[in-house]
Amino acid sequence: MSQKGILRPGHVCIRVMDMNQAVKHYTDHLGLIETDRDDQGRVYLKGWDEYDWFSVVLRETQEAGMDFMAFKVRDRVALDSLEKDLKAFGCTVERLPAGELKHCGERVRFDSPAGHYFELYADKDYYGNEVGITNPEAFVDGIKGMGTHRFDHCLLYGDELDGSVKLFRDVLGFDITERVLDGDVMVGAFMACSNKAHDVVIIRHPEPGKLHHVSFLLDSWEEVLRAGDIISKYDLALDIGPTRHGITRGKSIYFFDPSGNRNEIFAGGSTWYPDHPTVTWNAEKLGKAIFYHDRQLNENFLSVVT
């Protein structure tokens, strides 16, 4: 867990080009639950096993991609301290008032060297998961589609990997769980503020500020296979999978929302503790690292971003 007070990924704001199509995709197919809308037209969603009011925000615009990814911090003391550290690092920092996102307290928004925007917040309204916290059942009835448990992580592409890694490691307190090296040059960093395999990933890429995928958690390989059935049944745009990764050991399938944003359904993955060494993959083994079964790179998977 981050020693700077960051607890976990909190939410992601995804740009979509047709809100009706997007809501249908994320609710009927992924199984997220719509919890609210606001006067800007933004739609708020959560997984069935998440406690906070939302973890996904959809915003309709002319270009797909990600507006920002946010992390929940332990308390207001951590929020204030991290805001000062971000300014000292050289980030452009903005304090957004409580309620600018419905059900969310004050947020600290900041830019990163690779061109992405991130946010920190300490407070968000409690919604509750779908099974409760007293004598809960192990699963819930009536969830649609893939039955997404929760928002898990984002993988991002940007042009200044080294500076963004320094920001996450030295300022925000993340650990580098795994990395990809091309010779002595790091081309990918998998980073965690928890004991998950990764909470955010950044890949070196010529263009700044790009989104590769938003990932959602399922429980097992069998649930990933069922997600593949749903992708086929409803003719969703499949990217690749079901498969598994060498990096993180996760089981995975990739597909696209109607706006072209890549989604991932993810299960399993390695466990991280701060005393573990960083796992290194060499670029010549990247095929096996990404697609452990095929051991071959897929050019569309590497190059298609929003």
Catalytic residue positions? 153, 198, 213, 245, 254, 264
- Rg, C-alpha atoms of the chain: 18
Return the structure tokens found at 139. Answer: 């699963």
In what order do the strands lie in the sheet containing 93-96? 33-37, 43-46, 56-60, 6-16, 65-73, 117-121, 107-111, 93-96
Length of the chain: 306
Work out whether strand 93-96 and strand 65-73 pair parallel, antiparallel, or are unpaired: unpaired
**Phi-psi region at 13: left, alpha or beta (left = phi > 0; alpha = psi -120 to 50):** beta
Strand-pairing partners, residue 237, are: 256
Separation CA 203–CA 154 (nearest Å): 11
Return the structure tokens found at 284. Answer: 């010549």
Strand-pairing partners, residue 255, are: 238, 263
Q: Give the chain's count of helices (H) and strands (E).
A: 6, 17
Residues 6 or more apart whose Cβ sits within 8 Å of residue 21: 258, 259
- Count other C-beta atoms under 10 Å from residue 163's C-beta: 15
Residues 6 or more apart whose Cβ sits within 8 Å of residue 15: 59, 60, 61, 63, 64, 65, 66, 67, 259, 261, 306
Separation CA 249–CA 42 (nearest Å): 35
Work out whether strand 279-282 and strand 175-182 pair parallel, antiparallel, or are unpaired: parallel
